[in-house]
């Protein structure tokens, strides 16, 4: 069972099925190759030339709609109860695009009649029917009291209007032709669900199992098909009895496919940005240091590369990928811990902080720890020991006052998962942390 209400999209008053104009068959949905008229001086314009110009622009716009925007309800077209009559409901004014790229528009609210159920044949004394459309008192066949589920759809149509005599007609002007074609909307009420409901559900859930980057980066291999949807679903009315009271909770407008406008998408993006935690500022990190972690150095190499002399000092240099504040880099935050081996080679070992000074480059990207050469000559010259270099990054800040992300993390090389390495630049995404590395120094035997 199906009831159809047609309404002219340009009409100034809502219409019902009795007063609606009957649209002609829908224009073909397929979009052919684009051809337009070529004009030149002296050309005789015919009916085909002018119609071709209209067809060209219409098909261009349809292709734009269906390929770049899709189809669905743009705004309005909500199904609401009628405030007075129980045998009808209202579809509010609004706009939609069908899958052929055609605009389906209601300029005013439209009143739609519920389809009458068939009269029961088994009841010899049917009950009195509800009032007819024209409020006549004539006796009508009884209707069956039964709750139904109704599906409301809207589709595109064209209405031919303003018929005029054809002047140059073979029948001496006796025939008429429409002077204009108006785009119409047909509201349909059916007891059967539209075939496209399954497609709409798949369309809403298709991205749940897909990788977001793949969904964004890959262009679809095929263009979306067109012309498969008979009408655009608007709502489902459940558990309604004919001529009974229609309540808001009976109407489910959520089945409709939505086609958000660019303005609505922009508002949604701003809303998401306001609710999603803002990305933390980029943290300054350690990009490299000038020694080999966990390496073993000869005593002479250690003095030459990392101690030097008073006139030519050397040291342990760390480089940052941003400028650091000079107040945070000093001999309390940047230290070398000397762990000397005992003569027997057993624990406990002698541990002390090496006297040192810290220098900072003029560009603020490097700092160097210089162990006192006199201390090194007196206390380290005849020993084997470990040097543990530590930078307390909780106290080292960049120019913005944010602590350096200094945690030194280990990793495996991508080309060889057995090759141990350190990951640069440092950091785990959290400001602060401890940078710690070490070397071994062995005296000559």
For residue 17, name the pLDDT band (cuts at 50, 70, 90). very low
d(CA 327, CA 360): 10
DSSP string, 2-57: EEEEEEETT-SS---TTTPPPPBPPPP-S----------TT----HHHHHHHHHHH
User: What's the pLDDT tens digit per position in 133-181?
Assistant: 555 444 444 444 588 899 999 999 888 888 888 877 666 656 888 888 8
Q: Which residue has the higher pLDDT, 217 or 312?
A: 312
Looking at residues 42-58, what average pLDDT do you find?
Answer: 89
In this prediction, residue 377 carries a pLDDT of 92
Confidence (pTM)? 0.59
Query: Which range, of 156-160, 216-220, 242-246, 359-363, averages the lowest pLDDT?
Result: 216-220
Alpha helices in 129-282 (DSSP H): 197-205, 212-217, 262-275
Task: Extract the tokens encoding 301.
Answer: 């190499």
| Residue 346 near residue 430, CB atoms below 8 Å | no
Which residues fall within 8 angstroms of residue 414, CB to CB, at 6 or more apart?
Answer: none
Q: What is the per-residue DSSP string for 284-338?
A: PBEEEESS-TT-EEEHHHHIIIIIB-SSSB--EEEEESS-B-GGG-STTTEEEEE
CB-CB contact of 239 with 247 (8 Å): no
Asked if residue 9 has pLDDT above 50, the reply is no
Strand partners, 157: 184
What would the pLDDT profile of 97-116 be if each residue is shown by its tens digit? 998 889 999 999 999 999 88
Beta bridge partner(s), residue 155? 186
Helix (H, G, I), strand (E, B) or coil at 343: coil
C-alpha span between 57 and 50 (Å, rounded) = 11
Q: Tell how far CA 115 is from the center of its chain.
A: 41
CB 108 within 8 A of CB 93: yes
Helix (H) or strand (E) holding 374: helix 373-379
Segment 11-33 mean pLDDT = 51
Span 238-250, mean pLDDT? 90
- What is the arithmetic mean of pLDDT over 18-31? 53
Nearest to 30 by CA among 97, 102, 96, 95: 102
Quote the CA–CA distance of 82 and 363 in Å, as a whole number: 76
Q: Which of 433, 409, 438, 439 is nearest to 423 (CA)?
A: 409
pLDDT at position 195: 82
pLDDT at 21: 45
Which pLDDT belongs to residue 217?
A: 73
The residues pairing with 182 across neighbouring beta strands, listed in sequence order, are 159
CB atoms within 10 A of CB 443: 15
Residue 68, H or E segment? helix 47-68
pLDDT at 436 over 50: yes
Distance of CA 9 to the CA centre of its chain: 33
Reduce the DSSP state of residue 365 to 3 states and report it: coil
Helix (H) or strand (E) holding 59: helix 47-68
Structure tokens at 332: 């309390």
Write the pLDDT tens digit of every residue in 284-333.
999 999 999 999 999 999 999 999 998 899 999 999 999 999 999 999 99
How far, in Å, CA of 154 to CA of 7, rounded? Answer: 10
Structure tokens at 13: 């008053």
Q: What is the mean pLDDT of the chain?
A: 83
Residues 127-133, mean pLDDT to the nearest whole number: 56
Domain boundaries, the chain: 2-118+141-275, 286-442
Predicted pLDDT at 213: 72
Name the DSSP letter for residue 445. -
């Amino acid at each position: 069972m199906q009831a159809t209400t047609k309404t002219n999209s340009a009409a100034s008053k809502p219409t019902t099925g009795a007063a609606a104009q009957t649209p002609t068959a829908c224009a073909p949905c397929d979009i052919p190759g684009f051809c337009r008229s070529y004009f030149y001086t002296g050309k005789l314009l015919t009916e085909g030339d002018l119609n071709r110009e209209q067809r060209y622009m219409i098909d261009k716009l349809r292709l734009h709609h269906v390929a770049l925007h899709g189809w669905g309800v743009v705004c309005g077209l909500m199904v609401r109860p009628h405030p007075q009559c129980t045998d009808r409901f209202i579809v509010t004014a609004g706009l939609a695009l069908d899958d052929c790229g055609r605009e389906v528009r209601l300029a005013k609210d439209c009143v739609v009649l519920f389809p009458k159920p068939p009269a029961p044949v088994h009841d010899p004394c049917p009950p009195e029917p509800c009032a007819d459309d024209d409020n006549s008192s004539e006796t009508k066949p009884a209707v069956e009291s039964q709750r139904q589920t109704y599906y409301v759809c809207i589709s595109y149509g064209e209405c031919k209007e303003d018929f005029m005599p054809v002047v140059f007609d073979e029948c001496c002007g006796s025939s008429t032709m429409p002077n204009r074609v108006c785009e119409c909307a047909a509201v349909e009420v059916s007891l059967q669900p539209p075939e496209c409901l399954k497609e709409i559900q798949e369309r809403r859930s298709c991205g749940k199992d897909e990788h977001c980057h793949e969904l964004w980066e890959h262009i679809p291999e095929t263009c979306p098909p067109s012309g498969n949807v008979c009408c655009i679903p608007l709502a489902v009315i459940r558990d309604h009895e004919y001529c009974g009271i229609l309540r808001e909770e009976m109407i489910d407008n959520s089945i409709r496919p939505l086609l958000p406008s660019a303005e609505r998408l922009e508002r949604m993006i701003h809303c998401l940005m306001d609710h999603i935690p803002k990305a933390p500022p980029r943290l300054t990190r350690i990009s490299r240091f000038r020694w080999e972690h966990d390496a073993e150095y000869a005593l002479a190499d250690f003095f030459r590369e990392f101690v030097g002399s008073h006139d030519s000092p050397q040291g342990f240099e760390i480089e940052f990928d941003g400028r650091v504040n000079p107040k945070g880099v000093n001999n309390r935050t940047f230290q070398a811990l000397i762990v000397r081996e005992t003569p027997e080679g057993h624990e406990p070992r002698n541990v002390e902080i090496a006297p040192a000074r810290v220098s900072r480059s003029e560009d603020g990207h490097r700092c160097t720890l210089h162990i006192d050469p006199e201390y090194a000559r007196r206390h380290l010259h005849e020993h084997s020991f470990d040097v543990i270099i530590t930078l307390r990054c909780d106290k080292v800040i960049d120019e913005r006052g944010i602590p350096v992300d200094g945690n030194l993390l280990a990793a495996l090389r991508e080309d060889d998962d057995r090759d141990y390495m350190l990951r640069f630049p440092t950091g785990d995404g959290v400001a602060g942390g401890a940078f710690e590395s070490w070397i071994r120094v062995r005296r000559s035997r």
